[in-house]
Structure 1
Amino acid sequence: MTFEQQWIEYDYNPFVLFSSNAKVLSLNSEAQFLLGFVTTEELFNLATTYANVSFGFKTTFLELEFGRYKFFAITVGYENDEAIGIKLYQSPSFKLNKPKPIGELANIYALVDLCILTYSINSKIIFEKDFDPTIPEIIIDSNNFIKILNKAYSCYENNQKIVTKIFYRVGEHIKFEDKKYSIFSVEVYSQNINEEKVNELKVLATNTNFYIDIQKKVTINIPMIIS
């Protein structure tokens, strides 16, 4: 693999090269993860839709979301009728102006179970759990995490069921003091979300070191700091 090829392979942004009949000719490692959330047919249609009218390259700014992936732009390029390539630019997942989190070593599953137990005492809501069991004990501000998670649950208080998912964010990292840390997420979601409670959550989150993403789901992104 040449140096230039390595740059493409390890690029944080997915890249796929298609033949004229939509067959994948090559793709980088990030694109392989992306294909767990979107089909090759969808990506090929996206490429042909936003391709330049003549040979060459064209960058288009648009918002796209496939599973956990969010993009703010794509570049489509082709030099002949045999192949066409597409590169998707990931939106930044986190604001990097926050200091390194401090706290104590804790078990994230125990903290989540505590929140669920506390919140369900006077509630008829069914709490469903979807946990990746491989997350180690991490350094976390437990008190603020519990406040954030309880407030996240309140955003869905008018639903019959709330799902809590804990998962490792493959290929995503964050740096503190020139050291890179993997990331996992605690995600809370249900059918209907209370916008007033969402605003309260946003205010609460600004006073903590947690990285919160609020769309239809509430996602708390946490670095794996173990020492």
Structure 2
Amino acid sequence: MSRATLDKNPRDVASMFDAVARRYDITNTVLSLGQDRAWRRATRSALGIGTGDLVLDLAAGTAVSTVELARSGAWCVAADFSVGMLRAGAARPVPKVAADATKLPFGDAVFDAVTISFGLRNVVDHPAGLREMARVTRPGGRLVVCEFSTPVVPVFSTVYKEYLMQALPRVARAVSSNPDAYVYLAESIRAWPDQAALAGQIRDAGWSDVRWRNLTGGIVAMHYAVKA
């Protein structure tokens, strides 16, 4: 199967990411016009991590995001349910674990911080994933969710949605190892809750002090929360 659908069957989603793994990083950089690097730096800064902290990077893919987090001096582990993605990042010098976000293979209150970038949208039951993230985070620990969201300027939002459905799949055909997967990407972004709705879901999952910051005009939103 070349692409998943919005029912987000875990096996289909994992297979789809296995198929895009070889050129995943370069495709993301091209499609985001290079903004992916800035988004990773912003995530690291928002977490406020440093030496001595234990950090879980979920949906880490090829672990490029985990390497960015490790620049803080924290001990960071990459977790993803696509083994193909983890293999594609095998050369990156961070520990890696194959893991389902809804059934994490870690004990309670282990991590000082948890983050997931552009991956919560792909979890079949993302509220359950948010609850699992809370379970493995110590009291007072931090969560940062960096995810595609809803642009804040209506005219820009219309243009952006047109780009998602028309231009993005065409660009992906030029650079991706599985361009059909980017049709799912566009569909899943359009179907994702807006900033306020996602904040409510994070609160319902057991997190407190939930707030968000828009990046790149709301194309991406960074949600921050604390484990009560």
Query: TM-score by structure 1 length?
Result: 0.24
The structure that is strand-richer by fraction is 1
Larger Rg: 1
